[in-house]
Structure 1
Amino acid sequence: MARAARIALIVFTALASVGFVALAVWQVQRLGWKQDLIARVEQRLTAEPVAPPAGDVGKADEYRRLRLQGRFEPGEVLVQANTELGGGYWVLAPLRLVDGRAVLVNRGFVPPAQRAPESRAAPAGPVELVGLLRLTEPLGGPLRANDPAAGRWFSRDVAGIAAQLRVPGPVAPFFVDESADPTQPQRSPRPGLTVVRFANNHAVYAATWAALAAMAAAAAGWLWREERRRPGTLT
């Protein structure tokens, strides 16, 4: 190998080590952010339910426990779902709040055998329920775009579903996953199946990048020593 190529290899491995160190530091920062996120979400999940917010919502509001009072309006949309109970559908229906706004409520999960509407009529009259605030999902999924005309929904797109159901008046820009009431018998749709789980592998990633940084640094050091041993080269 020519001397210029050997020097280039030394420089490359040294720079690779620096890059791996930067990636390890970034993953450590991500670990802190993820731990803070998990702590904040867990705090929301155990807090007392509050009234639904007015206006726009963001990430800081997701998974906040809400208490809703109102009446279910006619109509519902089935959104394809995969849960711990298997494949099936989420049942989303509009709830008219006492203040006049409408909120889409995910009443829970039904298997394909219970797709028929008569198997899950929404309660008549005033209702009160507790649920988790969820952000709208307008983009569908990879290769799984919502098709309202065909009645195929893969994501819980609040604006799209409200338009499909022709919900009149103001509609909240979020939906609510209804929570299970432990004092009531199990029903269909099955509420309370929201999965609140965040992948937190940043410590493993940081350790991996740090190990690669050490290996690259060791390789650069070895190459440098070997180059210095060559007669008439580096001194």
Structure 2
Amino acid sequence: MRNARRPVALIAIAGAWIVAILALLSLGTWQVERLAWKRNLIAQVATRLAAKPVPAPIAAGPEDAYRRVTAIGIFKPARDSFVQASTVSGPGWWVITPLHTADSRVIMINRGYVPARTAPPSASGIVTVTGLLRMTEPGGGFLRSNDPAADRWYSRDVAAIAARRGLGITAPYFIDADATNATGPVGGLTVVRFSNNHLAYAITWFILAIMAVGGFIYWFAASRRSAESNE
């Protein structure tokens, strides 16, 4: 009875081993595809950063992130929001100020970094802001959720900040202002860096797949020898 069950058990083990090998190969292939996607993303962003500024759009999507844009309007006074930040200048706050444009839009502007939760007043009159278009950051950051009721912000959540300040509908993005204002918050601190470990991950998965193939061959040969010795 035990000998009758042996072929079934061997087939089940072989099937599981083959499935594991195929899974490892699939994971390696997926990481190769992710590598191509990440390299393409990095190239696209580099092109946007090198391009001349364009007028800030009405709407924007992920494909517009880090595009250099220009907005013209008037800062709304006494509407600053402070978002916790960690920068090359140390921990502190981003100063987010709404800009009312000539076409009656409101765009949130990250005027820059300050070390304490206070900032110089925004410029009065019509101003031109040039910077990088950034997509809204809903929810929070630093492992903490935004608390609109307490006016505590850990991410630049455009819609939530606009609602807290009673601004109504705003552009679905914010602009990281360039370092052009020597007397105000420190701008131009945007860090554009994408982690790209996909090649290392792909190599790891393929090495594991090769090891699994080697183990399968060894197991298969040992099983055959054992079967032949029992005949």
Residues 1:152 and 2:185 aligned together: no
Amino acid in structure 2 at the alignment position of 1:65: R
- Tell me whether 78-87 or 214-223 shows the greater mean CA deviation: 78-87
Does the Cα contact within 8 Å between 2:142 and 2:154 map onto a contact in 1?
Answer: no
Deviations 1:211-232 (A, max 9, x none): 0000000000000011111144
Aligned to 2:20: 16
Structure 2 unaligned regions, length at least 5: none
Q: TM-score, normalised by structure 2?
A: 0.90
Query: What is the CA distance between 1:30 and its match in structure 2?
Result: 0.5
Aligned to 2:69: 66
Residues 1:98 and 2:102 aligned together: yes
| 1:231 to 1:51, Cα distance in 2 relative to 1, 3 A | closer
Aligned to 1:109: 113
Amino acid in structure 2 at the alignment position of 1:107: R
Q: CA RMSD in A?
A: 2.2
Q: Distance in 2 between matches of 1:111 and 1:152?
A: 16
* 1:212-223 paired onto structure 2 within 5 Å: 212-223=208-219
| 1:180 to 1:227, Cα distance in 2 relative to 1, 3 A | same
Does the Cα contact within 8 Å between 1:68 and 1:130 map onto a contact in 2?
Answer: yes
Higher relative contact order (CA 8 A, sep 6+): 1
Residues 1:25 and 2:29 aligned together: yes
Query: What is the CA distance between 1:234 and its match in structure 2?
Result: 9.9
Q: 3-state DSSP class of the match of 1:224? A: helix
Q: How many residues align?
A: 226
Q: Distance in 1 between matches of 2:37 and 2:118?
A: 44
* 1:22-171 paired onto structure 2 within 5 Å: 22-54=26-58, 56-74=59-77, 75-112=79-116, 115-117=117-119, 120-141=120-141, 143-167=143-167, 170-171=169-170
Residues 1:202 and 2:201 aligned together: no
Q: TM-score, normalised by structure 1?
A: 0.89
Amino acid in structure 2 at the alignment position of 1:192: G
- Tell me whether 141-150 or 193-202 shows the greater mean CA deviation: 141-150
- Tell me whether 188-197 or 218-227 shows the greater mean CA deviation: 188-197
Structure 1 unaligned regions, length at least 5: none
Does the Cα contact within 8 Å between 1:179 and 1:192 map onto a contact in 2?
Answer: yes
Deviations 1:20-62 (A, max 9, x none): 11111111011001111111111111111011112x3211111
Query: What is the CA distance between 1:136 and its match in structure 2?
Result: 1.1
Identity of aligned residues (%): 46
